[in-house]
Structure 1
């Protein structure tokens, strides 16, 4: 057989991807060029083992605190929380780690970065001039698509506004909602509430859910609230969207968000999942962040 393209090349629909010799005759299988209806174009269907969640369900805490617990290798259920309703705070983790004598074992950011430096092949010294040569890395898959979409987004005028909100009422609402919907297969988080809240805001201020057509000098007010959620995967950043959020309940948003997250981790998102978004909601709390300015 003869493969017509190199790995990473962009192949247009209808182009010959592979030639094979069958019984001495050269045959081009056009059927093999057509995409299976179950496998959308441009989506890698390779599977990877599911990631085990590191967010304990028994104790209340923020993603940043859970990240800190993971760094120390602790079990959050062993830590007594001093926050509201027994919430585990950052200080609780640090105090518990100090009692265990683990404070000095947590590497600093500088030590982590040093540990990630890859020496040249053969273990050459950092003084070797070849160590400082530039490397050319081709972008493929999600990374290539992310660069294209971010380049287009960068052309749109941006503005940034920061506000802090007391969310005690939201915490109570989530707790009561979780009691009424105790399906153990569903992970209840604050994100579905924020997604639904954004949809309510878009109903009041529809201009936020619009696009500008420069050629005709028109603004298109989107009829559907297709809210995208940025997700980090092993293949790169991907932004699937929950369609028509204004017609969904919080439980339905929770289930759809869970489905998209599972499909993203297994690299099985469909074209419909990753297209058609009208507005995006980013959550950087999982990595310990407090504020960001996404493009």
Structure 2
């Protein structure tokens, strides 16, 4: 038997160190070739580290949250044969030959199953009784979902990597009739003194750093405008009825992207990036629209490239493809970078007003609030109209208040008279 040592691979783009986000294996596990061992976080995305060999894990080189240099020892695996590590011949740093390790960009750690067997407490039986103080693996979104459903996560069998509890595991638990809904009503009013400490690592740490950096460096100001979307919603419904079966269904987002593209022709200072260290503003002709997308591990911003050159249905298809890729952990680093302006929407949860945070180095972000029907006065008559607010933020170092207001009002005019979206 020998030892095969895997070093932290060079992921490219000049990255010298990465953060170890999560282990999918532990000491003693048997692993197979191409099995995902760990996830590491770069500045842009989560990356899988697969195993190039079959064998048994004998040591781990770091803990989640630790920043590790490229070339440092990540994991040691006992293998048949000599392996690539000969401790008696020379010091470890010189003895380990770099094994070719393929890395694949990903966003969500839950998206790929792990081939290694999970602990018996997780894999056996429909009900898993963990210790009271044992914290099951689950994303924040799954934990909130479980809390809303009244489910104790420690009782749920996890089918994700390393026994991670997934949304579908909660559904399976409910289907088996084991939810806490049958517990005595008094249990809902029992005192609770439990506490939970959640390390801020991986994607959550990157999001926190970017949001803090954005609010500290940019001079944010927000502008809110009310828009009557009755006409564009009627057009959308008509196009879906006529072409939905052959071209795909349209949401409001591709119309908003089109409105951005047209309005930016008159406001090039808003489709820009600001390098505050070099004190240089770069205005771009290409409109690369970042579409904020929520995933189980946090907010991702996949990019619709060259939206100015795409049709309504092409933008719709690309938005759908990128959002699905981000949620399923398939978005590449290139697909998650390079935006020139960002569009963010909470859909039906959009509220009345929001104050979105800039996606630096961009200088504008357009936030979409929910559509509501309200009585409005039109030509002296009270009528029911579909109304929506745009809550947008700008970098006041680059964008003047009047320009921001006129830009959003231009979008308003395009959406309220949707034929103008397509008049050249």
Smaller-chain TM-score range? 0.5 to 0.7
Summarize deviations over 1:24-74 as a string: whole Å, max 9, x none.
Answer: 555346335x443xx12x64464279xxxxxxxxxxxxxxxxxxxxxxxxx
- Taking only aligned residues, the RMSD between alpha carbons, in angstroms, comes to 3.4
Q: 1:31 aligns with which of 81, 86, 99?
A: 99
Q: Distance in 2 between matches of 1:160 and 1:238?
A: 22
Shift of 1:116: 6.7
**Structure 1 pair 244/183, CA: closer, same or farther in 2 (3 Å)?**
same
- With normalisation by structure 1, the TM-score equals 0.65
Q: 1:18 aligns with which of 63, 67, 75?
A: 75
Q: Distance in 2 between matches of 1:19 and 1:240?
A: 35
1:141 equivalent in alignment to 2:202: yes
Q: Provide the secondary structure at the position in 2 that maps to 1:225.
A: coil
Q: Distance in 1 between matches of 2:246 and 2:349?
A: 25
Summarize deviations over 1:184-240 as a string: whole Å, max 9, x none.
Answer: 783421011101211211222010111223333321112321111111222222111
Alignment of 1:218-257 (within 5 A): 218-257=280-319
Q: Distance in 1 between matches of 2:224 and 2:202?
A: 33
Alignment of 1:147-186 (within 5 A): 147-154=208-215, 155-183=217-245, 186=248
**Structure 1 pair 206/145, CA: closer, same or farther in 2 (3 Å)?**
same
Confirm or deny: 8 A CA contact 1:43 1:268 kept in the other structure: yes
Shift of 1:115: 8.2
**Structure 1 pair 29/263, CA: closer, same or farther in 2 (3 Å)?**
farther
- With normalisation by structure 2, the TM-score equals 0.46
Which has the larger Rg?
2
1:47 equivalent in alignment to 2:111: yes
More RCO (CA 8 Å, sep 6+)? 1
Confirm or deny: 8 A CA contact 1:142 1:235 kept in the other structure: yes
**Structure 1 pair 31/185, CA: closer, same or farther in 2 (3 Å)?**
farther
**Structure 1 pair 266/215, CA: closer, same or farther in 2 (3 Å)?**
closer
Q: Distance in 2 between matches of 1:207 and 1:157?
A: 16
Confirm or deny: 8 A CA contact 1:47 1:267 kept in the other structure: yes
The answer for the alignment partner of 1:89 in structure 2 is none
Confirm or deny: 8 A CA contact 1:20 1:26 kept in the other structure: no
The answer for the alignment partner of 2:324 in structure 1 is 262
**Structure 1 pair 142/183, CA: closer, same or farther in 2 (3 Å)?**
farther
Shift of 1:290: 2.3
- Greater helix share, structure number: 1
**Structure 1 pair 208/16, CA: closer, same or farther in 2 (3 Å)?**
same
Confirm or deny: 8 A CA contact 2:284 2:340 kept in the other structure: yes
Q: Distance in 2 between matches of 1:183 and 1:115?
A: 36
Q: Distance in 1 between matches of 2:67 and 2:247?
A: 39
1:203 equivalent in alignment to 2:265: yes
Q: Provide the secondary structure at the position in 2 that maps to 1:161.
A: strand
Confirm or deny: 8 A CA contact 2:61 2:73 kept in the other structure: yes
Q: Distance in 1 between matches of 2:286 and 2:198?
A: 38
**Structure 1 pair 4/114, CA: closer, same or farther in 2 (3 Å)?**
closer
Alignment of 1:28-107 (within 5 A): 28=96, 30-32=98-100, 34-36=101-103, 39-40=104-105, 43-44=107-108, 46-47=110-111
Confirm or deny: 8 A CA contact 2:290 2:302 kept in the other structure: yes
Q: Distance in 2 between matches of 1:207 and 1:234?
A: 34
Shift of 1:147: 1.1
- The alignment of Structure 1 onto Structure 2 pairs a total of residues equal to 224
Confirm or deny: 8 A CA contact 1:4 1:17 kept in the other structure: yes
